[in-house]
Amino acid sequence: MKLRTRIPRDLTDADRVRIVLQSFEEGALVSVVARQNGVDPRQLSQWRSRYRAGKLGGMDVGMPTVPISELADAKQRIRELERELGRKALENAMLREAVEFAHLPVSAWRRTARATPRKK
pLDDT tens readout for residues 61-96: 555 666 767 878 888 999 999 999 999 999 999 998
Tell me 7's DSSP state: P
Per the domain annotation, does 62 fall within a domain?
A: no
Asked if residue 73 and residue 39 are part of one domain, the reply reads: no
Per the domain annotation, does 120 fall within a domain?
A: no
Kindly give the parts of the chain with pLDDT less than 70. Answer: 1-9, 57-66, 68, 106-120
Per the domain annotation, does 36 fall within a domain?
A: yes
pTM value is: 0.44
From residue 66, give the alpha-carbon distance in Å to each of 40, 51, 59, 80, 95.
Answer: 35, 23, 12, 20, 41
| Segment holding 68, helix H or strand E | helix 68-102
Per the structure, the count of domains in the chain is: 2
Give the domain extent around 85: 68-115
Per the domain annotation, does 74 fall within a domain?
A: yes
Per the domain annotation, does 29 fall within a domain?
A: yes
Do 17 and 51 touch, CB atoms closer than 8 A?
yes
Question: pLDDT value at position 84?
Answer: 97
